[in-house]
Amino acid sequence: MAESTTNCRILITGECGQVGEALRRTLAPLGEIYSPTLDVLDLTDTDSIRKIVREFHPRWIVNAAAHTAVDKAESEPDLAFAINATAPKVLAEEARSLGAGMVHYSTDYVFNGTKKTPYVESDATGPLNVYGSSKLAGEQAIAASGAAYLTFRTSWVYGATGNNFVRSMLRLAAEREHLRIVGDQYGAPTWSFELAQLTAHAIAHTEQLAAQSHCSLVEAMLPLSGLYHATGAGETTWHGFAAQTISGWQKRKPELKLATVEAITTAEYPTAAKRPVNSLLDCSKLAATFGWHMMDWKDSLTRVLDELDA
């Protein structure tokens, strides 16, 4: 499938993030990668965005850039909306103008978390915080742009690089004797590298459809365009995620004295931004459309811990 994308141009935003870093490695076999740094691509400047896109003229735009500081977004909503809503809108408009495909990443935080079962793509949204509201606005702007796009909603992203929950827990577990972690918010940890692998698969799949049908990329992609849930399989809480992480690390590092982990309620750990109780997403549509089944979060965590221990 990679043959049809050889020498195509792929623009990746968010080069300094954990998903962006994984995308650069994973998408490299598919074509020419351009991942401008923040000093080159200013995501708060629409003219900068349009200039970069038009000069590079990509066949694919993969937008991994985001304002992800959930609590900080409460005090800087303009910046959150500029990066999470306006920038994706401009990228989608440029994609449509060029006849390019667009891949975007969104979040479980577009939901209010009151549903008792995993959310499907068609469920009503209702974000509880500025971050979720800004990401929802980005989703809606892309959908309204007329571009051919894939928006992957994900949750609790982590990996062996970047700032994330796993790396924070390992650092804190080595520094402290006891950790108190929220145990009444449910979700599914998602490996950043698997998101990148999924993206490569979706791009190659779409390119293969275009080649087989002898049509343009946009013509092949429009029937697939829309929202897809893409999170690790299984479920846990933040406490369960922390406990599994520290336990797995202890097995690899028996000589270390690591912290014990206690489950607490959300009420016992107040934050600036309200979090949904249920962040579980149903990924059936992803499997049905692209034949992609996300890894169980415990299996991907094992892979990440192995990488950190290498």
Among 29-33, 85-89, 150-154, 244-248, the least confident range = 29-33
Cα of first residue to Cα of last residue in the chain, in angstroms, is 31
- What CATH number does the domain located at 2-164+189-233+279-295 have? 3.40.50.720
On the question of pLDDT at 37 being above 70, the answer is yes
Catalytic residue among 131, 149, 158, 228: 131
Looking at residue 19, what is its pLDDT? 93
Report, as an integer, the average pLDDT of 201-227. Answer: 94
Q: Which residues pair with 281 in a beta bridge?
A: 119
pLDDT band at 303 (very low <50, low <70, confident <90, very high): very high
Phi, psi at residue 158, to the nearest 5°?
A: -155, 165
Looking at residue 7, what is its pLDDT? 60
Q: Tokens for 118?
A: 């995993």
Going across the sheet that includes 8-13, the strands are 31-34, 8-13, 60-63, 101-107, 148-154, 226-229
Mean pLDDT score of the chain: 94
CB atoms within 10 A of CB 28: 12
Q: Is-contact 111 126, C-beta < 8 A? A: yes
Q: Tokens for 198?
A: 């999924």
Domain ranges of the chain: 2-164+189-233+279-295
pTM, 2 dp: 0.93
Q: Is-contact 233 296, C-beta < 8 A? A: yes
Q: Could you tell me which residues come within 8 angstroms of residue 79 by beta carbon, excluding any fewer than 6 positions away? A: 44, 67, 73
Closest to 141 in 3D by CA, of 75, 217, 46, 52? 46
Q: Which residue intervals of 226-296 are DSSP H helices?
A: 238-252, 284-290
What is the SS3 assignment for 271? coil
Closest to 103 in 3D by CA, of 30, 162, 211? 30
Active site (annotated) includes residue 131: yes
Of the chain, the percentage scoring pLDDT greater than 70 comes to: 98
